[in-house]
Structure 1
Amino acid sequence: MRKYALVTGSSGGIGRAVAKKLAKDGYSLYLHYHQNIQSIRELLEELSVYEGEYIPIQADLSERNGYKKLSENIFSIDCIIHNSGISHYGLFVDTDLDTVENLLMVHVTSPIMLTKELLPKMIRQQSGNILFITSIWGQTGAACEAIYSTVKGAQISLVKSLSKELALGGIRVNGVAPGAVNTAMLEHFSEEDLDIIKGDIPMGRLAEPEDIAESVSFLLSEKAGYITGQIVSVNGGWYT
């Protein structure tokens, strides 16, 4: 029986890579996006070589009730991959309330409420996976990214606590914490800045979205059937 996975933020670099890997693994997919419909159209074309059902759903998870628009269009569900994210780079003292609330809504409030809406479906079937794409900065913190680090740290705490609550129900909760990934989130860095970052990473390169997707695939698989409450660091040895 085919399984269904929701990938939020599936129009972005990591989301697209995760969607393609899961389609290859045999999943049917709910492909959430906010604005980039062109990226979703391209993704659907790429997924057409597989035999699953791929359903785009538009929703703005920065809005208070954006998660409801998403959850109301989801029926069968086996896996939730919380991948939607926005970044903010700047001094803490210059951060305004709108920025704080926006990051909290996208990374914390909407994922919590979306999970709450979809969880009864998993509880009824006594199986499921919930997975967060969090960040290295949620583990160690980053100067000039204090709020982003905070919301990513909140995701990690949710993984650790919710996994204990759901374990006996056959539902696993894990996270993947990427380091620097070669996506649009790094567009504001110059080539010189990126070279410095690469020099700090023991493996000497940025992660590719596919590196993250492979870890997601493993954590959702039966090979990881006894793994829950864990954050897998995919960072090239940057911080250990």
Structure 2
Amino acid sequence: MRRVALVTGASRGIGRGIALELAREGWDVCVNYIQHQEAAESTVRDIQALGQNAVAMQADVADGEAVAKMVSQAAAELAPISLLVNNAGIAGQMQFQDISDEQWNRYLAVNLSGARNTIRAVLPHMLTEKSGCIINISSIWGLRGASCEAAYACTKAALIGLTRSLALELAPSQIRVNCVAPGVIETDMLEALGDEVKAMLVEQTPLGRLGTPEDIAYAVAFLASKRASFITGQVLGAEGGFIV
């Protein structure tokens, strides 16, 4: 039986790393993207080279109708989704008083409502099968807060609350819900901070290095596996000891 995962925001960075690692673990993957079509299609080709089926599908996770259409199309082209990884998100730095209503609402729409939209779309099949796995990608800033990133941090904290609440609600249906909280990860998003800030973040990380997308992918693959079949409602920090 084919196993199908939906990874949102999977064209680049952490999402791409997750999609590839899941393929190595035997999952077919729906690679969601919003803008970077060529990168998403490259990820699909790399998954296919690993012997798994994959499709790239464009959808803004903030758009519930578009998400529902994507999930339906993925089921038709691959199979119904049994693993959902909510990775899509937006981030940025600004002082709290400078956040416009439009920016605030966009953070909520993508980082939090986006997870609601995808979960709502995949849940009917999981409830029918009484089986499934949902993994939300939060952040260490959702655990401890972050100066000048209030909008980002609070939406990531909300994802943790959603994870724990849904884990309790869906456990009777044998659907597991967990969360991974990445630390400082070497991605395109981090490059905008500059070398000086990156060096400071390395110094603040007890393991003495930045994380990689693969570090997060390994954590996700574990939580999605049978080895984690008795684990639900948990937040797994993959952050090199940053907030110990």
Which category of TM-score, normalised to the shorter sequence, fits these structures? over 0.9
Map of 1:176-191 to 2, 5 A cutoff?
176-191=180-195
Distance 2:71 2:5 in 1: 12
* Residue segments in structure 2 that go unaligned for 5+ positions in a row: none
Verify the 8 A CA contact 2:133 2:177 in the aligned structure 1. yes
Indicate the residue corresponding to 2:229 in structure 1. Answer: 225
Distance 1:235 1:3 in 2: 29
Alignment partner of 1:103 is 2:95: no
Verify the 8 A CA contact 1:66 1:110 in the aligned structure 2. no
Task: State the SS of the aligned residue for 1:73.
Answer: helix
Indicate the residue corresponding to 1:34 in structure 2. Answer: 34
Task: State the SS of the aligned residue for 1:72.
Answer: helix
Verify the 8 A CA contact 1:139 1:153 in the aligned structure 2. yes
Task: State the SS of the aligned residue for 2:122.
Answer: helix
TM-superposed CA distance for 1:63, in Å, is 4.0
Q: In structure 2, give the amino acid aligned to 1:58.
A: Q
What is the TM-score of this pair, normalised by structure 1?
0.97
Indicate the residue corresponding to 1:112 in structure 2. Answer: 116
TM-superposed CA distance for 1:64, in Å, is 5.8
TM-superposed CA distance for 1:61, in Å, is 2.2
Moved more, 45-54 or 184-193: 45-54
Moved more, 113-122 or 192-201: 113-122
Moved more, 46-55 or 144-153: 46-55
Moved more, 50-59 or 26-35: 50-59
Alpha-carbon displacement from aligned partner over 1:115-166 (angstroms, at most 9, x marks no partner): 1121010011111000011100000000000010000001000000000000
Task: State the SS of the aligned residue for 1:129.
Answer: strand
Distance 2:141 2:66 in 1: 26
* Residue segments in structure 1 that go unaligned for 5+ positions in a row: none
Indicate the residue corresponding to 1:68 in structure 2. Answer: 68
Verify the 8 A CA contact 1:81 1:132 in the aligned structure 2. yes
Task: State the SS of the aligned residue for 1:203.
Answer: coil
Q: In structure 2, give the amino acid aligned to 1:8.
A: T
Indicate the residue corresponding to 1:150 in structure 2. Answer: 154
Moved more, 40-49 or 149-158: 40-49
Distance 1:48 1:87 in 2: 30
Alpha-carbon displacement from aligned partner over 1:52-74 (angstroms, at most 9, x marks no partner): 21011101224464423323323
Distance 1:220 1:48 in 2: 20
Verify the 8 A CA contact 1:64 1:105 in the aligned structure 2. no
Indicate the residue corresponding to 1:203 in structure 2. Answer: 207
Indicate the residue corresponding to 1:3 in structure 2. Answer: 3
Q: CA RMSD in A?
A: 1.2
Task: State the SS of the aligned residue for 2:176.
Answer: strand
Alignment partner of 1:46 is 2:46: yes
Indicate the residue corresponding to 1:212 in structure 2. Answer: 216
Identity percentage of aligned residues: 37
Alignment partner of 1:78 is 2:82: yes
* Number of equivalent positions: 240
